[in-house]
């Protein structure tokens, strides 16, 4: 991983330093006990194979010798702990010590692993929470540019892969390097010649594993992108299943999904081929090392050229013990490379700049008292060329109902989205009570507004919780009153579960008119001073429109409202009507004034009411 990613991961880990320190201490104790267990196992084999009197004789010689080698000193102190008066007694003591050492090392291994698991899972939890919080802070423009499947894949799959990488790194990278260093030290103590031969061959396996790891990193990037594509197809199909079935397009969707699955399979197979290659390569190099050292060391023993059978047995045991940690290090590298690709995508998302920002000390909009004003405002979307709105100027006084009408694509809904700062204009400003909304706290700004759109967004929850979404502590009585005003109580009471009925994803169990009335009840319960209605009745049938219109009239009472309307029958009573054409204001006036002007408004009105 690049230094920047390492530094960021370390920064995220810093709150858990106590766990890491205790775990590191446990890891060191484990390594020491692990090395001792292998040394003692060799001693056990030696004591069984060799003459006991010969061992005692060697011990006495070492006792009277002040110029012992480090290898001889280790064997002397080992025998000092183990040797008793008889071979059987010595063997019993040695077995008890080996058993105690193995128990001890496994206890410390468990402590090390458990504490690191706490760090690992806490870190993943924090990263996922940071991702979700950051996603919530991004502007609507970002979501227009990004696929939801890609975002879902990062939060779920990439974080999961990072967890696997962190697990492998924490559980192995803390221990295996110390294990390897300790074992290598013991090998040099026993025979520097044999240890040197091993050190010449071992790096070759490391080079091969690192090369494989780099290739896996590249393939992991492509794999994660392909997972995002699959999740996008799945998400789109499931959310649009009615359309898929209506057009009998199931086979085409199956073919599309199968094609992406096939590409994903190929990527996984290529990555798996490399992943599975690392183990055999490491083991093959290990066997080569073992065979060479067996031949060379065995010759040294047979020719009695300085290496005795006890040292040779101990050397071989430690040598083969070192191959395990080396193999684990190779696997850690592979996991890290996979986690690297995921970390790139995670931090790329976390680094996405927030377009809609607040001042360091924003003004709190405690109440709305005077007016909303659009002043010389122009706007364009990042993904499109050309202005969507150009030099827009108008004012909505407190208590006024202002309607905006015009052809599709004229910029009506964009005006509605600019007031709550879903987007920011590229030029000009929006004022609320003489304050530029950029200076206001986003939370306080949006808390003063209620928004009802054509595409009603409801959650897979109860009717009660959907209505109380902005007021979770609202009483049932206030919810019922809001539903009465929204003309929604009648159909809610007809549902067996009533307010506790689960309405399904996006309110799929309700009709369009029922969903609109739930949305209006939600806005009524919030009781905002400013109301924005964006095509709230355009997709309804006549009967539903009449019920929703009655609910809207209740909603508009004593409020300041901006209504975006396609059906002009809903705006005739507005205090002011603004017509928008090609991103510019063409007319402002009442219904009667605009109709008598014989301009765009009259043209739209006549088309809707079949007048020529």
**511-526 confidence digits (pLDDT tens):** 888 888 888 888 888 8
Closest CA to 432 of 450, 413, 448, 411: 448
> Average pLDDT in the 98-113 region?
89
CB atoms within 10 A of CB 291: 10
> Average pLDDT in the 106-116 region?
89
> Average pLDDT in the 226-248 region?
65
Question: What's the order of all strands across the beta sheet hosting 435-436?
Answer: 389-397, 371-379, 427-432, 435-436
Return the structure tokens found at 137: 């802070």
> Average pLDDT in the 304-308 region?
67
Calpha distance 550→575 (Å, rounded): 18
- How many Å is the maximal CA-CA distance in the chain? 124
- Signed CA dihedral, 243, 249, 254, 255: sign only: negative
Question: What's the order of all strands across the beta sheet hosting 401-405?
Answer: 449-453, 530-534, 560-564, 401-405, 576-581, 584-589
Which pLDDT tens digit goes with each residue over 408-457? 888 888 999 999 998 999 999 999 999 999 999 998 998 898 888 877 88
Instruction: Check pLDDT > 60 for residue 572.
Output: yes
Query: 């029922």: which residue's tokens?
Result: 514
Return the structure tokens found at 410: 């004229």
pLDDT of 347 reads: 87
String of b and e for 251-276 (b: at least 16 CB within 10 Å)?
Answer: eebeeeeeebeeebeebeeebeebbe
* Neighbour-count burial of 479, counting CB atoms closer than 10 A to its CB (0-12 exposed, 13-18 middle, 19+ buried): buried
Instruction: Check pLDDT > 60 for residue 258.
Output: yes
User: For residues 585 and 199, which has the higher predicted lDDT (pLDDT)?
Assistant: 585
Name the 3-class secondary structure at 184.
Answer: helix
For the chain, give the percent of residues with pLDDT over 70: 80
In the 8-state DSSP scheme, what is residue 64? T
Instruction: Check pLDDT > 60 for residue 3.
Output: no
pLDDT of 210 reads: 57
> Average pLDDT in the 279-307 region?
69
pLDDT of 224 reads: 59
pLDDT-based confidence at 304, cuts 50/70/90?
A: low
Pairing of the two strands 401-405 and 560-564: parallel
> Average pLDDT in the 538-546 region?
63
Return the structure tokens found at 68: 């012992």
Which pLDDT tens digit goes with each residue over 147-172? 777 788 888 888 887 877 777 776 67
pLDDT-based confidence at 1, cuts 50/70/90?
A: very low
pLDDT-based confidence at 372, cuts 50/70/90?
A: very high
Most confident of 20-24, 344-348, 432-436, 531-535: 432-436
Closest CA to 82 of 107, 102, 55, 54: 55
* 522: phi then psi, degrees, rounded to nearest 5: -60, -45
User: For residues 302 and 291, which has the higher predicted lDDT (pLDDT)?
Assistant: 291
Would you say the pTM of this structure is higher than 0.75?
no
Which pLDDT tens digit goes with each residue over 452-504? 887 788 888 899 999 998 888 889 999 998 888 888 888 898 888 889 989 88
3-state SS of 577-610?
EEEEECCEEEEEECHHHHHHHCCHHHHHHHHHCC
Instruction: Check pLDDT > 50 for residue 566.
Output: yes
In the 8-state DSSP scheme, what is residue 16? G
Please count the helices (runs of H) and the strands (runs of E) in the chain. 22, 10
String of b and e for 336-366 (b: at least 16 CB within 10 Å)?
Answer: bbbbbbbbbbbbebeeeeebbebeeebbebe
Instruction: Check pLDDT > 50 for residue 397.
Output: yes
Instruction: Check pLDDT > 50 for residue 357.
Output: yes
Which pLDDT tens digit goes with each residue over 115-137? 888 888 888 888 888 988 888 88
* Neighbour-count burial of 136, counting CB atoms closer than 10 A to its CB (0-12 exposed, 13-18 middle, 19+ buried): exposed
* 235: phi then psi, degrees, rounded to nearest 5: -65, -45
pLDDT of 543 reads: 66
Instruction: Check pLDDT > 50 for residue 199.
Output: yes
pLDDT of 218 reads: 61
Instruction: Check pLDDT > 70 for residue 227.
Output: no
Pairing of the two strands 530-534 and 401-405: unpaired
pLDDT of 296 reads: 72
Asked if 492 contacts 483 with a C-beta cutoff of 8 angstroms, the reply is: yes
User: For residues 234 and 356, which has the higher predicted lDDT (pLDDT)?
Assistant: 356
User: For residues 207 and 141, which has the higher predicted lDDT (pLDDT)?
Assistant: 141
Return the structure tokens found at 198: 């091993």
User: For residues 309 and 363, which has the higher predicted lDDT (pLDDT)?
Assistant: 363
User: For residues 36 and 288, which has the higher predicted lDDT (pLDDT)?
Assistant: 36
CB atoms within 10 A of CB 217: 20
Calpha distance 531→451 (Å, rounded): 6
Asked if 450 contacts 531 with a C-beta cutoff of 8 angstroms, the reply is: yes
In the 8-state DSSP scheme, what is residue 611? -
Most confident of 47-61, 84-98, 224-238: 84-98
pLDDT of 612 reads: 44
pLDDT of 437 reads: 93
| Cβ-proximal residues to 132 (8 Å cutoff; 6+ apart), any chain | 155
The CA-atom distances, in angstroms, between 74 and each of 94, 234, 393, 523 are 15, 64, 90, 80
Query: 């206001």: which residue's tokens?
Result: 440
pLDDT-based confidence at 209, cuts 50/70/90?
A: low
pLDDT of 457 reads: 81
Calpha distance 116→27 (Å, rounded): 10
Asked if 115 contacts 19 with a C-beta cutoff of 8 angstroms, the reply is: yes
* 163: phi then psi, degrees, rounded to nearest 5: -60, -45
3-state SS of 449-490?
EEEEECCCCCCCCEHHHHHCCCCCCCCHHHHHHHHHHCCCHH
Return the structure tokens found at 111: 């402590």
Average pLDDT over all residues of the chain:
80
Query: 């996979």: which residue's tokens?
Result: 338
pLDDT of 260 reads: 75
């Amino acid at each position: 991983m690049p230094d920047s990613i390492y530094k960021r991961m370390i920064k995220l880990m810093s709150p858990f330093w106590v766990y890491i320190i205790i775990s590191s201490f446990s890891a060191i104790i484990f390594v020491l006990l692990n090395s001792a267990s292998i040394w003692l196992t060799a001693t056990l084999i030696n004591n069984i194979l060799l003459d006991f009197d010969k061992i005692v004789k060697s011990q006495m010689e070492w006792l009277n010798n002040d110029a012992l080698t480090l290898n001889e000193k280790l064997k002397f102190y080992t025998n000092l702990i183990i040797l008793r008066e008889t071979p059987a007694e010595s063997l019993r003591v040695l077995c008890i010590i080996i058993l105690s050492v193995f128990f001890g090392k496994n206890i410390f291994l468990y402590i090390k692993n458990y504490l690191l698991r706490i760090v690992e899972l806490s870190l993943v939890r924090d990263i996922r929470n940071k991702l979700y919080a950051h996603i919530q802070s991004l502007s609507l423009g970002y979501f227009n540019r990004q696929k939801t499947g890609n975002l879902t894949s990062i939060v779920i799959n990439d974080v999961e892969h990072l967890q696997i990488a962190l697990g492998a790194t924490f559980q192995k990278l803390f221990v295996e390097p110390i294990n390897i260093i300790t074992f290598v030290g013991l090998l040099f103590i026993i025979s520097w010649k044999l240890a040197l031969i091993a050190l010449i061959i071992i790096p070759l396996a490391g080079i091969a594993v690192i090369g494989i790891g780099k290739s896996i990193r590249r393939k992991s990037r492509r794999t994660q992108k392909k997972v995002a594509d699959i999740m996008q197809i799945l998400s789109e199909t499931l959310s649009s299943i009615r359309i898929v079935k209506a057009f009998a397009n199931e086979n085409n969707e199956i073919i599309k999904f199968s094609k992406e699955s096939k590409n994903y399979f190929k990527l996984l197979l290529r990555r798996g081929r490399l992943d599975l290659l690392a183990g055999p390569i490491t083991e093959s190099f290990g066997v080569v090392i073992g065979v060479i050292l067996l031949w060379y060391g065995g010759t040294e023993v047979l020719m009695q050229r300085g290496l005795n059978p006890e040292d040779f047995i101990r050397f071989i045991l430690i040598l083969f013990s070192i191959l395990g940690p080396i193999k684990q290090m190779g696997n850690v590298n592979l996991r890290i490379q996979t986690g690297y690709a995921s970390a790139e995508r995670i931090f790329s998302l976390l680094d996405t700049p927030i377009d809609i920002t607040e001042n360091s000390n924003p003004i709190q909009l405690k109440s709305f008292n005077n007016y909303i004003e659009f002043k010389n405002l122009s706007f364009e979307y990042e993904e499109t060329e050309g202005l969507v709105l150009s030099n827009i100027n108008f004012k909505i006084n407190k208590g006024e109902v202002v309607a905006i009408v015009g052809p599709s694509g004229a910029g009506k809904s964009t005006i509605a989205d600019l007031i709550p700062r879903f987007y920011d204009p590229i030029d000009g400003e929006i004022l609320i009570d003489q304050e530029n909304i950029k200076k206001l706290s986003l939370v306080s700004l949006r808390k003063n507004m209620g928004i009802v759109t054509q595409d009603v967004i409801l959650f897979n929850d109860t009717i009660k919780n959907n209505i109380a979404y902005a007021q979770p502590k609202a009483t049932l009585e206030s919810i019922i009153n809001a539903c009465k005003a929204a003309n929604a109580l009648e159909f809610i009471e007809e549902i067996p579960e009533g307010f506790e009925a689960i309405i399904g994803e996006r309110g799929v169990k309700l009709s369009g008119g029922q969903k609109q009335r739930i949305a209006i009840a939600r806005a009524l319960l919030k009781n905002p001073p400013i109301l924005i209605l964006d095509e709230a009745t355009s997709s309804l049938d006549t009967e539903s429109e009449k019920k929703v219109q009655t609910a809207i009239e209740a909603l508009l009472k004593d409020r300041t409202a901006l209504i975006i309307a396609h059906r002009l029958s809903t705006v005739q009573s507005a205090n002011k009507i603004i017509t928008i054409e090609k991103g510019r204001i063409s007319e402002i006036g009442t219904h009667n004034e605009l109709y008598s002007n014989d301009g765009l408004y009259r043209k739209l009105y006549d088309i809707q009411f079949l007048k020529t």
